[in-house]
Homo-oligomer: A and B are copies of this chain.
């Protein structure tokens, strides 16, 4: 199931780093990895010596609609073959290996991968076995180490989650330049200052009539506080109409079927 927020009319992202799983043991993990890749627009999966018949029903179910990643996956007999056409390869690991390689986090790796891909290079990321991770021999084939700022007391990520964070790093590096999918549309055009000030005049008149500003010499300061609070709303034209309508209703009391009693003040609550 593509799920909430998926928009089939928009083109799938692609072109990201190749994800290489070394000796994955469970089809479900491969499926979940495919889904995590699709979430951040990674599409090229390679498997090194996956265990037995890996592409079964559970694998597809776990991919939850990202089956195109599974169907495009390539299988290799050795890690060296799986990396043959790549220009730069990261190895993911949660612990120090003492191999003298550069160690980077996702925030650094994202832009670095983008820069390489933009320059025409092909980048890959290695992920190890579910229980034991990458062996030192696997890591020795990589150019750099990618690790995550995890809780040192609880460092174990599952395979799909490790891939998800790499995908996020890749995508976030692009998103830094591009807006989020809908951020800009969430805000309506702001009200004119004229509409806002006219609302303030109306509100403060009503409040003054009802003795809100007390003692009277504090009125300027109290007005300023109120205005500042409403300014923080960043009101749109519609917001000003809504709030003004709310104040009118509070002041005038319930609407009448006819308009003649409309101006009756709502004094009774206290009497």
Query: Known: A107-B172, A207-B250, A246-B207. Is A186-B153 also a contact (CB below 8 A)?
Result: no
A219 vs B66: C-alpha distance in the bound complex, in angstroms?
40
A107 vs B64: C-alpha distance in the bound complex, in angstroms?
27
Interface centre among A96, A153, A234 (most CB of B within 10 A): A153
Interface centre among A151, A157, A180, A232 (most CB of B within 10 A): A151
A residues 254-271 near B (Cβ < 8 Å) are 254-256, 260, 263, 265-270
A residues 1-39 near B (Cβ < 8 Å) are 1-8, 10-13, 35-36, 38-39
Distance between A19 CB and nearest chain B CB, rounded to angstroms:
14
Q: CB of A150 within 8 A of chain B?
A: yes
Contacting residues, chain B, for A183 (C-beta < 8 A): 103-105, 147
Interface contact B153-A211, CB-CB below 8 Å = no
A62 vs B266: C-alpha distance in the bound complex, in angstroms?
59
Interface contact B156-A4, CB-CB below 8 Å = yes
Q: CB of A152 within 8 A of chain B?
A: yes
Query: Known: A164-B165, A180-B147. Is A156-B1 also a contact (CB below 8 A)?
Result: yes
Cβ-defined partner of A172 (8 Å) among B2, B35, B65, B149 = B149
Determine the residue in chain B with the shortest Cβ distance to A164.
B161
Determine the residue in chain B with the shortest Cβ distance to A103.
B183
Contacting residues, chain B, for A195 (C-beta < 8 A): none
Determine the residue in chain B with the shortest Cβ distance to A7.
B152
Q: CB of A59 within 8 A of chain B?
A: no
Interface contact B171-A168, CB-CB below 8 Å = no
A168 vs B161: C-alpha distance in the bound complex, in angstroms?
11
Cβ-defined partner of A243 (8 Å) among B41, B229, B254, B255 = B229
Query: Known: A107-B172, A242-B226. Is A269-B255 also a contact (CB below 8 A)?
Result: no
A168 vs B167: C-alpha distance in the bound complex, in angstroms?
13
21 contacts across the A-B interface (CB closer than 8 A):
A4-B132, A6-B156, A7-B153, A10-B152, A11-B152, A35-B158, A39-B151, A39-B161, A40-B150, A65-B156, A96-B181, A100-B188, A103-B186, A105-B175, A149-B171, A151-B171, A210-B252, A232-B233, A233-B233, A253-B268, A253-B270
The 9 lowest CB-CB distance pairs between A and B, nearest first, are: A5-B94, A3-B156, A149-B175, A253-B267, A5-B155, A96-B182, A10-B152, A12-B153, A5-B95
